[in-house]
Structure 1
Amino acid sequence: MRRNDIRKKLNSLIKKYETTDPFELCIKMGIDLDYDDLKDGIMGYRVVLYRIPCIVLSNNNTDEENKDTCAHELGHHVCGHDTNVEKLKRSNRGFVSFGVEYEANSFMVDLLLINANLAEHPTRQHLLKHYKVPSWAERYVDWDYLQESADFNSFDSYY
């Protein structure tokens, strides 16, 4: 799936459900959210049982890690990945340039940055910190898109 298609699906969901919170999106989309004591560095996973989608998050994650993981797993669901179990582990959060993990990570980053205006931040690092994009996911940020969509006439613009 192309990045623009991922972004279109994301914007459609946000418009339909009127939220950018991944937990609320799951609830409104009928995706069960559960928590468990996951081992082996597993932060969360998505599974579909009897056509019922479910995202399981680790009790060992911080709140921010659970938000990121939920957004990532929601990306698998929204992008229509048909593998039954998608899991995010602490050890596999590196950069992937294609495939289902690329799409899920792109969805996650686009969701985290959905209301970002590049013009309102003095540096890229400031924007990433403000929107709490995890350092491992920085390579998924579409800087060209953020530059093109920046509102330099914004009241809070630095430029």
Structure 2
Amino acid sequence: MERIIGKLARKYKTNNPFEIARELNILIRFVSMPEGTRGLYYRKLRRRFIVIDSELDENWQRIVCAHELGHDRLHPGLSRFWIDEYTFFNSGKYERQANLFALRLLTYNIDMQEDESLNAYLLRCGIPKELHSTFI
């Protein structure tokens, strides 16, 4: 995962998931989504899409974009809906991996300051408290 993130960030000279997705020709759409759904990733006719809840604030949209980008990079060809419906696999594993991908991407090349706590560092990187336990 670290190698994939480093390669993306170096190639596109950013850790901004929106810019990386654009460079990878992943189409991003903002729509009002049902309660409990922040975003999703899917492929259709060889086109890739990230759909993000338009009701989220900019920071959460960035996190969701990074998470869905993680699915594109780590789980090509897999759909959570397909996994849930047709297999006995635990889709939670893939969700945790995508969360970790998002956090590592959004903190890539941002160093902790001296005497800065992990929580303060993550907040400075725009990571909400709800996701801090994923990073540890």
Q: Which has the higher contact order (CA 8 A, sep 6+)?
A: 2
TM interval, short-chain normalised:
0.7 to 0.9
- The match for 2:100 among 90, 93, 106 is 106
Q: What corresponds to 2:36 in structure 1?
A: 41
Per-residue deviation, residues 101-144 of structure 1 (Å, max 9, x unmatched): 121011001011112222445222221211111212112225xx
Q: What corresponds to 1:53 in structure 2?
A: 48
Q: Which runs of 4+ in 1 moved over 3 A?
A: none
Q: What corresponds to 1:131 in structure 2?
A: 125
What is the aligned-residue RMSD (CA, Å)? Answer: 1.9
Identity %: 24
- The match for 2:65 among 70, 77, 80 is 70
Q: How many residues align?
A: 127
* Contact 2:18–2:65 (CA under 8 A) maintained in structure 1: yes
Partner amino acid, structure 2, of 1:101: E
Matched, 1:24 2:35: no
TM-score of the superposition, structure 2-length normalised? Answer: 0.84
Larger CA Rg, structure 1 vs 2 = 1
Per-residue deviation, residues 11-58 of structure 1 (Å, max 9, x unmatched): 001111111100000000010001111112211110100121100111
What 5-or-longer segments of structure 2 have no aligned partner? 82-89
TM-score of the superposition, structure 1-length normalised? Answer: 0.73
The alpha carbon displacement at 1:65 in A equals 0.7
